[in-house]
Every structure is written in C-alpha cells, then in structure tokens.
Amino acid sequence: MSKVGINLAIFASGNGSNFAALVKAAKEKKIKVKFIVLVSDKPEAFVVKRAQKAKITVILVRREDFASRADFEAAIIQRLKSYRMDLIALAGFMRMLSPGFVKLYRKRIINIHPSLLPAFKGAHAIADALDAKASFTGVTVHFVDNQMDHGPLILQKEIKIKRTDTLNSLEKRVHALEHKLYPQAINKIF
C-alpha cells in the first residue's frame, strides 16, 4: 500500500452502504486514503446524503442531461481530472462503463459484486443464487473490463446459503461481507 495514501473516487447510484463502509475504513485508517470523492448519476440517491453528511465531495452527473453516453462519461472524466484519482471503486453504480472509459482508467477501476463470479452476474445476483437453490454464494471484487461483472479477480469469499435463508437474511450477510472485503481488496492493490 502507498505510504502517503490514494485518491479514491467511489461511483454509486443507490443506498451507498459500500460507500459508507469505505469511508469508515478510511477514517479508521484501515485503508490509506488522501482524498475521497463520490460520483453519482442520481441526485436523489441516499448515497448523496451519506456523502454530504460525511463532508465528502460529491460530483453529480445525471445521464439524462447528456445527448449520449460518450458526453456523459466525458463530463465525469473532465470533473475527475482535477482530483487525480488513483482508483475508482464502483459501489452500486448501475451503469456499464464504455470501453473508452475503461481504457482511460485501465487497471484502476474495481467493482464489487454479490456473488462468486462468474456465477450470477447482473443486478439480481443474490436473488438469483437463492432461486437457483445454490449451496454457496459470496462476494467478488474484481478489476473492471469491457464485459459486465467480468475482469481479473482481486478477492473472492464465499458464504454458505442456509436452508432457512430468505432474500432479506442472505442480503444482510452478503452485504456485511462486502463491507469487510472491499477495503481488503483496496489494500491488496495498494
């Protein structure tokens, strides 16, 4: 890990529990971070409120304000330039990044996914694992490439699915593991 710390951009579109876990890890010095910025495409998302409460810089870039995905991503890139980001952590940012964006930040974009990839890709991974009556699921942190929920693995940890699990109980256990695993993955990279 860098002795000085990294500049971390967290991209999120929803509740922001992984955002909160990363901010907490930084405050507790479990990850060495110089600066954190939140990038969100949803001004109404709870993650924005979390960032404001934590006095974290928020960059709002709404997709509907741009004619194309290229223009939307160009606006994000332009706003991130002045912060010199070392790492982008996707934390529930529900958009695929273009090949051009991924290439620009090659090996500096990571994602967390609530399954043991390559199993159960997509937005409903926890429910899909439960519906498939899988014995195990888990959490994967990986580098982002040009495919959805794909790329070189950084860390992966499994959770046994109990016969008594409901979607709610399994989500709670998976999210608790995500909150531990994401900071560990960042430490492994830096």
Active site residues: 113
Query: Rounded to an integer, what distance in angstroms lies between the CA atom of residue 34 and that of residue 8?
Result: 8
- Is residue 102 within 8 A of residue 145, CB to CB? The reply is yes
Strand partners, 39: 11, 59
What dihedral angle (degrees, nearest 10) is formed by the CA atoms of 102, 17, 156, 152? Answer: 0
Distance CA 77, CA 122 (A): 25
Ordered DSSP codes for 32-57: -EEEEEEEES-TTSHHHHHHHHTT-E
Residues 6, 87: contact at Cβ < 8 Å? yes
